[in-house]
Amino acid sequence: MLHQLKQAFTNPKFLVGFVLFMLMLLISLIYPLLSAFEPLDMVTTGFTAPGTYVSIADVANSDGIGMNVDASAGRLASVLKDEDREKMKDWMVRFGGVAEGDIDLSDTEALLEKWQATYDPAVPQKGLRNADKQAFVRLDKDIKAATNSDGLILAAKGEDGLEEVKTIAGNTYVRTGDVVSKIVMPLGADNFGADVMTKLTSSIAVSLRIGLLAGVIATLIGLTIGLLSGFLGGWVDNFLTFLTNIFTVIPSFVILILIANAISGTARSPMLVGLIIGLTAWPWTARSVRSQVLSLRNRDHVSLSKLSGHSLPRIILQDILPYVASYVVMALILQISSGILAEAQLSMLGLGPDTTTTVTLGIMMNWAQKFSAVLGGAWWAFVPVVISVAIITFSLNLMNTGLDQVFNPQLRD
Amino acid sequence: MGKVMLEVKDLKTKYVTRFKEDVFAVDGVSLKIEEGKSLGVAGESGCGKSTLALSLIGYYFAPLHYISGEIIIDGQNISGMKPDEVRKKVLGTEVAYIPQAAMNALNPTQKIIRFIEDVIRVHDKSLSKKDIYDMAVERFRILGLPPEVLEKHAVELSGGMKQRTVIAISTILSPKVLIADEPSSALDVTSQKMVIKMMRELMEKGFIKSMIFITHELPLLYNVTDDIMVMYAGQIVERGTAKEMVFDPVHPYSKGLMGSIIVPEEGTRDVKLEAIPGTPPNLKHPPDGCRFAPRCKYAKPECKVYDVPEKDFEEHRMYRCIYDVDYLKEAYGRNG
Amino acid sequence: MKNSDEVMVLKGFIKYYGKRIIWYVITLVVAVFLNFLLPRLMPGDPVKALAIQATQGVTDPSVQQKMIEQYTREFGLDKSMPEQLVIYVGKLFQGDLGVSLGQYPRTVADILGSSVGWSLALQIPALFVGWILGNGLGAVAAYLRKGMDTVVLPIFMFISNIPAFGLAFILIYLFNVKWGIAPSGGGYAFNLIPAFTPEFIGSVLQHYQMPFWTMVLIAIGGQAIGMRSMSIYELNADYVKYSRFLGIKDGKIITYVFRNAMLPQITGLAMSFGTSIGGNLVAEMVYSYPGIGSTMFKAISTRDYPLLSGCTLMITIMVLIANLVVEVLYGVIDPRVKAAQMESE
């Protein structure tokens, strides 16, 4: 056994799979501990793009340092998108009386100069809807703010209305480290405003638990049925094989849905879902264990044990189980992987764990679907989840292939 | 003396193991076969017999590699040819091969006749399907194989039938040299007999012009081939006619090998059964001097030092031992 | 002699497949039974839950009570289990799967009838194309080794581990939201009415692309891995060596090898249909594709039990038929299997 384990770790496929899997496992265990939030904390009010957020009040109150850098160019670039430039040109040509050939969209400075000279919201703008007119007013305001090098005046409400507190020059900067109130959301926030990274890592842990439970149950059932069927033979074998074959053909997905749907709402805890998945996933394991046992049944050491009058449990435990152990481990690995996928599928259909205290990978994807994260462009709410599921199942499959190569030397190339 | 069909001069080949080690399984083999003659090659497993069979075909691919030597078939030296040329001009028509495990030699999902078409078309694209079919039926009929076999898949044939079909396919282009590697070893006795009968017929009817028959079963050689050659550790240790080799072996190894069999014919009663002690040498590092010396009960210290050359005697016979023939015969007499 | 031989083979053939068909019928019976039993065995009262939901906002408890009674009657739950089973099976034989609760008064059979076609038209071609591309990739990988083994194959293996609906998310985001070159979902444009017009068919094809390629991409990896190891196994087979020694060209031998490696992959076709159908149906739902996946999702979210039960039965039947077809197909075209089947008689 130790030797086989050593061999497994020299197999590159197994090793890569193992490292990937451990990486995911470690992240899922460690990140929630380090995170400032609970997985379900509503940190913001809805989909929030990934990044570091700093408090505006903190920044305003900081003592800035004057820099000899003109910040307006950068600001302008962010305000003046290509379509805005087109719009400005359009306005100037239609209402400002500027010739089309005089405008060069790529020359920001000249464009702005012309704009400031010609734009006047009071000019009659025939053919423009009110909303469009307002858009130009806003654009003009943005441009003014961006080009303003006089700085901003900060005021507070006083007894006589607004009282000036201080003036912030356009070239004033503050060190990000000096800003006290900061929120880091490497993967942004989801529709509930929860930090995706924290939620994702804690989901991975829950999903892995579901997968493990499902895998263990399916493997135990499959192993028992396979052992009995392969070793006892006769009508027991016929019956069990018949049963196994039937359930390999009827898609387990269907049975899973029927059972999950019948268990109403809140009774479906994550672990119960794992249990149901395990109860429906055993046939493949039973099949492969049976065929292994069949090839073992007539080996000399087993026959010897039988002749020596050893009891059935003893023969199975001592003479059969050690030989099928490697297959069982491989089957377990595959079962964990398909258990995680099954949970995700169920959750997508709304039949996953029904809970308000924990989250699974499937539930996260279900929410992304329900709250149109995809069409809303909130990629951070689903891409990391999908990739996580893929990495976990991929790593498990790699481990399985690696082990297969170790245990079946003829597969080695 | 008839026309020489196959002449091999000092052929050396090696194969490379998975761990990149060289195994010198054919180490300086020379031989000659005349038209209409057959040669048997005998030896323990691991002596290089099968490698010799593959090497004689003249077409090498990993893990087998050609080192040096010449193979001349009917006057044509094929050793200098490019692999593709060998494949096109030599395989099938000049040299044909019958593999050891004919059970799996046929593509399981292809009808026999389709495969025959593929084989024949390599060499002659002008023949129509009908021509090939007629040709195959004719050949099968002569060789005593039911023509229905042609329309079957390999999986539908029994082991013996499969082997005979393979033999018929290998010889369908009437090759000048047939190399058969243990063609009957995996079969039951009845099938074995049929295969042997078929091999003889191939020679008699002229479908093949010469044959090398490789086996570890000596009685078979005695019944099938004209000459016998004994191989040990990649080299030939003795060669003579079948009768001479079985009843009057000279080399101590041949002596031991022949002693380890019972030939169910007259005159073998006084040959004692004795096994040769020890195991054949590892061909990755063949021993110095006479390769059989470590197992030879007549060996002297110098046997293990000097390479022993092949020595001719009685005009057509050859052996490889530092003792002369009379000394050896006398020693055998003493030992009973 | 030849004729009687063929008759024997035919007899064996019919006997073998007769047995297999009977086996499939038994499996179907088990599936129908489970479809009937599972929803009824579970604790809790689905009818009550339904009634509570249907009468949400209504304060009068007697209304709720009436609802419960009505649903109980409608489902036949006032009768004993065996009686219910008899009624259920009897109706099934007439193609009667009940009436949908969520889309009342449409019948379940009607709803399924309009969605099964969509699902089949999507999943079966996707399965075939994925199978062919996967086998091609696996064969090339087995032949070329290096490069393929270390780069291309792992990429497809990774993709095949992405759940179908997850890949659907990513594709919609990229092709619709980001680049705006594909519709976000549906079977055809909203403003069209199904008809055999070029416009409608064009729209269907346009909407077909993303779900189709999602399923194809995911199918490739698994098939390729299987094909690769089968091909490597076949490349080392004795017949390859023997064919070479008879002078047959490598190109020809490769066709032997890949044919032999590919045939057993046909069973993989049926297997992958059974195992991928779940993920693919959920992907249909993500794409709002008008197939069984979306129907099933609707049934679950509106607690439409008769419709859900119809969906699960339909899916099972589809998988069973696929398995049977593949089994027969495989036996007919692979002589190795044919021989094994005849032997088992």
* C282 touches A at CB < 8 Å: yes
Model confidence pLDDT, tens digit, residues A285-310: 998 899 888 888 878 888 888 888 88
Structure tokens at A378: 């909130």
pLDDT above 60 for B262: no
Spatial separation of the C-alpha atoms in residues A393 and C238, rounded to whole Å:
37
Q: Distance between CA C29 and CA C24 in Å, rounded? A: 9
User: How distant is the Cα of C102 from the closest Cα of chain A, in angstroms?
Assistant: 16
Decide if C345 contacts C15 (C-beta within 8 A). Answer: yes
Domain containing C285 equals 108-333
Q: What's the CA gap between C194 and C74, in Å, rounded?
A: 33
CATH code, domain with A366 = 1.10.3720.10
Dihedrals φ, ψ of B225, to 5°?
A: -105, 160
In a domain, C345, yes or no: no
In the numeric block, the tokens 């396979």 are attached to A226
Q: What sign does the dihedral B222-B227-B232-B234 (CA atoms) show?
A: negative
Average pLDDT estimate for C185-205: 81
Q: Is B107 on the interface with C (CB under 8 A)?
A: yes
Q: Which of B47, B140, B53 has the alpha carbon at shortest distance from B99?
A: B53
CB contact under 8 A, C275 and A368: no
Would the CB atoms of B105 and C249 count as touching at under 8 Å?
Answer: no
Residue C177 has its nearest CB partner, among A365, A374, A410, at A374
Residue A392's pLDDT is what?
A: 96
First to last CA, chain C: 21
- List of long-range contacts for A174-178, beta carbons under 8 Å, 24+ apart: A174/A59, A174/A62, A174/A63, A174/A64, A174/A65, A175/A65, A176/A52, A176/A54, A178/A62
Rank A26-35, A178-187, B274-283, C231-240 by mean pLDDT and report only the highest: A26-35
Instruction: Identify the residue with better confidence: C317 or C332.
Output: C317
Angular region, C95: left φ>0, alpha ψ -120 to 50, beta rest: left
Confidence of residue B219 (pLDDT cuts 50, 70, 90): confident
**pLDDT confidence of residue A304:** 84
Output the domain CATH number for residue C124: 1.10.3720.10
Task: Compute the Cα dihedral for C333, C338, C340, C344 and give only its sign.
Answer: positive
Specify if A359 maps to a domain. Answer: yes
Higher pLDDT, B311 or A1: B311
Residue C280 included in any domain? yes
- Give CA angle at C122 (C117, C123), nearest 5°: 100
B148 inside 8 A of chain C by CB? yes
- DSSP letters along C278-334, please? HHHHHHHHHTT-TTHHHHHHHHHHTT-HHHHHHHHHHHHHHHHHHHHHHHHHHHHH-
How many domains does chain A divide into? 2
Residue C345 Cα, gap to closest chain B Cα (Å): 15
Question: Tokens 């792992």 — which residue?
Answer: C154
Compute the distance between CA of residue C248 and CA of residue B91 in angstroms, rounded to an integer: 9
Mean of pLDDT values over A318-328: 84
Same domain, A14 and A159: no
Domain boundary among A144, A173, A202: A173
- Phi-psi map region of B46: left, alpha, beta (phi>0 left; psi -120 to 50 alpha): left
Confidence of residue A27 (pLDDT cuts 50, 70, 90): very high
Choosing among C2, C9, C233, C242, which should be mutated to test the B contact, i.e. which has the most B CBs within 10 A? Answer: C242
Q: Are A11 and A398 spatial neighbours (Cβ–Cβ below 8 Å)?
A: no
Rounded percentage of chain A residues whose pLDDT exceeds 70 = 95
Using DSSP, how many helices (H) and how many strands (E) does chain C show? 13, 0
* pLDDT at res. B84: 83
Would you say residue A50 lies in a domain?
no
- pLDDT at position C58 is 67
The shortest CB-CB distance from C239 to any of B61, B87, B104 is to B104
Say if the Cβ atoms of B148 and C260 lie within 8 Å: no
Residue C225 has which token pair? Answer: 């891995």
Of B97, B101, B108, nearest to C335 by CB-CB distance is B108
C245 assigned to some structural domain? yes
Q: How far is A360 from chain C (nearest CA, A)?
A: 14
Do A275 and A359 share a domain, yes or no? yes
User: Does the structure show a pLDDT above 60 at A244?
Assistant: yes
Percent of chain B with pLDDT over 90: 1
CB atoms within 10 A of CB C190: 7
Question: How many CB atoms neighbour CB A117 within 10 A?
Answer: 11
Whether residue A348 is contained in a domain is answered as yes
**pLDDT above 50 (res A101):** yes
Mapped onto helix, strand or coil, the DSSP state of residue A18 is helix
The Cα A125–Cα A132 span in angstroms is 10
Give the model confidence (pLDDT) of B300-333 as tens digits. Answer: 888 888 888 888 888 788 888 888 878 888 877 7
Number of domains in chain C: 1
| pLDDT greater than 60 at residue B239 | yes
User: Which residue's entry shows tokens 């595959």?
Assistant: A334
Has residue C308 got a pLDDT over 80? yes
Give the integer Cα–Cα distance in Å for A191 and A186: 16
CB-nearest to C247 from B87, B109, B148 is B87
Contact yes or no for B106 and C336 at CB 8 A = no
Distance separating alpha carbons of residues C177 and C167, to the nearest angstrom = 14
User: Which single residue is written with the structure tokens 């729209």?
Assistant: C203
Instruction: Using pLDDT thresholds of 50, 70 and 90, give the confidence band for residue A29.
Output: very high
Instruction: Please report the pLDDT score of residue C46 as a whole number.
Output: 60
Does residue C11 lie within any of the structural domains?
no
Q: Do C163 and A267 touch (CB under 8 A)?
A: no
The answer for residues whose C-beta is within 8 angstroms of residue B56's C-beta and 6 or more apart is: B6, B8, B11, B71, B95, B177, B179, B212
**Residue A16 neighbours by CB distance under 10 Å:** 16
A206/A109 same-domain check = no
Is the separation of the CB atoms in A89 and A103 below 8 Å? Answer: yes
Average pLDDT (C102-122) is 87
| A261 contacts in chain C (CB < 8 Å) | 39, 300, 308
With bands split at pLDDT 50, 70 and 90, how would you rate the model's confidence at B17? confident
pTM of the shown model: 0.80
Query: What does the mean pLDDT of chain A come to?
Result: 86
**Residue C217 touches partner A, C-beta closer than 8 Å:** no
How high is the ipTM of this complex?
Answer: 0.86
Q: Are B104 and B86 in contact (CB under 8 A)?
A: no
Sheet holding B64-73, edge to edge: B22-34, B4-16, B64-73, B76-77
pLDDT of residue B300: 81
A167 shares a domain with A21: no
Per-residue exposure over C215-244, b if at least 16 CB sit within 10 Å of its own CB, e if not = bbbbbbbbbbbbbbbbbbbbeebbbbbbbb
Residues of C in contact with B93 (CB under 8 A): 247
> Per-residue DSSP letters for C138-182?
HHHHHHH-GGGTTTHHHHHHHHHTS-HHHHHHHHIIIIIIIT--S
In terms of average pLDDT, the best of A11-20, B184-193, C103-112 is: A11-20
pLDDT at residue B274, as a whole number: 57
Give the chain A residue nearest C170 (alpha carbons). A383
Distance from CA of B18 to the nearest CA of C (A): 14
Which of B92, B103, B166 is facing C247, going by the closest CB pair?
A: B92
The two three-digit tokens of residue A34, written as one number: 């380090």
Q: Does the structure show a pLDDT above 90 at A382?
A: yes
Q: Cβ atoms within 10 A of the Cβ of B317, count?
A: 18
Q: Are residues A371 and A265 in the same domain?
A: yes
Residue C25 falls inside a structural domain: no
Domain of residue A150 covers 64-173
Residue entry with tokens 């189980």: A321
Burial class (CB in 10 A: 0-12, 13-18, 19+), A4: middle
Instruction: Report the chain B residue with the minimal C-alpha distance to residue C9.
Output: B156
Whether the pLDDT of residue B244 is over 60: the answer is: yes
CA neighbours closer than 13 Å in the CB half-sphere of residue B271: 21
| Shared-domain flag, residues A261 and A387 | yes
> Domain for residue A184, yes or no?
no
Q: Which residue has the higher pLDDT, B267 or A41?
A: A41
Task: Choose one of A121, A143, A173: the last residue of a domain.
Answer: A173
If you count DSSP H runs as helices and E runs as strands, how many of each does chain B have, helices first?
Answer: 10, 12
Residue C255 near residue C242, CB atoms below 8 Å: no
User: Can you tell me the distance from the alpha carbon of A397 to that of C75, in angstroms, rounded to the nearest whole number?
Assistant: 44
Among A117-121, A202-206, A220-224, the range scoring the smallest mean pLDDT is A117-121
Q: Is the pLDDT of residue C345 over 50?
A: no
In a domain, residue C38? The reply is: no
Which of C158, C230, C289, C301 to substitute to test the interface with A, most A CBs within 10 Å? C158
Q: How many Cβ atoms from other residues are within 10 Å of residue C334's Cβ?
A: 22
CA A71 to chain centre: 37
Mean pLDDT across the stretch B105-133?
87
* Distance (Å) of CA B333 to CA A50, B84, B269, B270: 98, 54, 16, 12
Average pLDDT over residues C114-131: 92
